[in-house]
A and B are shown apart, each in its own frame.
Chain A
Amino acid sequence: SQTIHQWPATLVQPVGSPLSLECTVEGTSNPNLYWYRQAAGRGLQLLFYSVGIGQISSEVPQNLSASRPQDRQFILSSKKLLLSDSGFYLCAWSSGDTQYFGPGTRLTVL
């Protein structure tokens, strides 16, 4: 069966520090991969999605970037975090219309 991993589960970072969040999927090949951000008590904002290795589509211009170095690995990065980057970051995968979410990373930028 398919599983999706995200780490770390929680993260506290100072403003201006770099960020790297990793997501890996097991049990499937060539999935579509997604990064979402959810502010406290709010909906899901799609940040990036990828349909294949090295293929990244950005939905919202910001100081974040994404990379897909391997088929089942998706990385979210920032060179310098802002206070507004705080939130719940969710990775998801799909091979059809349904999306399956990872456990998420709760990021607090101080």
Chain B
Amino acid sequence: GQQVMQIPQYQHVQEGEDFTTYCNSSTTLSNIQWYKQRPGGHPVFLIQLVKSGEVKKQKRLTFQFGEAKKNSSLHITATQTTDVGTYFCAPGTASKLTFGTGTRLQVTL
């Protein structure tokens, strides 16, 4: 499967601060998905990116796919306590995903 590195592994922010997690691959990816897992919960699909340079927004979340399709990022503007959890990127082919190591986000008031 395709291997990806996610950074940082952990980030602690104050509510209202921005947050970004990065997903990097040494090979070109056909597509990439992002999932969020709340503490004690299961991963939930957020979005899929397919096109080179693609940018998608979901409210305060902005997802980008690099021009070379080797990296992706998730940016959260003005974090809230509801953003707490672990964010995983997952490149995949033929319905078989390889999940990144994840970035755990902690948000405090």
8 Å CB interface, A22-37 against B: 32, 36
Contact A44 B99, beta carbon cutoff 8 Å:
yes
Q: Mark A94-105, 1 if CB is under 8 A from B, else 0.
A: 101111111110
- CA A107 to CA B15, docked complex, whole Å: 34
Q: Choose, from B19-27, B41-49, B52-60, B65-73, the stretch at the interface.
A: B41-49
Contact A100 B99, beta carbon cutoff 8 Å:
no
Contact A44 B95, beta carbon cutoff 8 Å:
no
Contact B43 A97, beta carbon cutoff 8 Å:
no
Name B42's contact: one of A43, A90, A97, A98 (CB within 8 Å): A90
Chain A contacts of B95 at CB under 8 A?
32, 94, 96-97, 99
Chain A contacts of B100 at CB under 8 A?
43
Chain B contacts of A41 at CB under 8 A?
104
Given the known interface contacts A96-B95, A97-B92, A97-B95, the answer about A90 and B33 at a Cβ–Cβ threshold of 8 Å is: no
Chain B contacts of A74 at CB under 8 A?
none
Contact A102 B33, beta carbon cutoff 8 Å:
no
Q: How many residues of A contact B (CB 8 A)?
A: 19
Contact A101 B102, beta carbon cutoff 8 Å:
no
How far does the Cβ of A85 sit from chain B's closest Cβ, in whole Å? Answer: 19
How far does the Cβ of A98 sit from chain B's closest Cβ, in whole Å? Answer: 5
Chain A contacts of B99 at CB under 8 A?
36, 43-44, 46
Q: Mark A62-95, 1 if CB is under 8 A from B, else 0.
A: 0000000000000000000000000000100010
* A positions within 8 Å CB-CB of B: 32, 36, 41-44, 46, 49, 90, 94, 96-104
Closest 8 CB pairs of A and B: A101-B42, A44-B99, A43-B101, A94-B95, A32-B95, A98-B45, A104-B42, A101-B43
* B positions within 8 Å CB-CB of A: 1, 31, 33, 41-45, 48, 88, 92, 95-102, 104
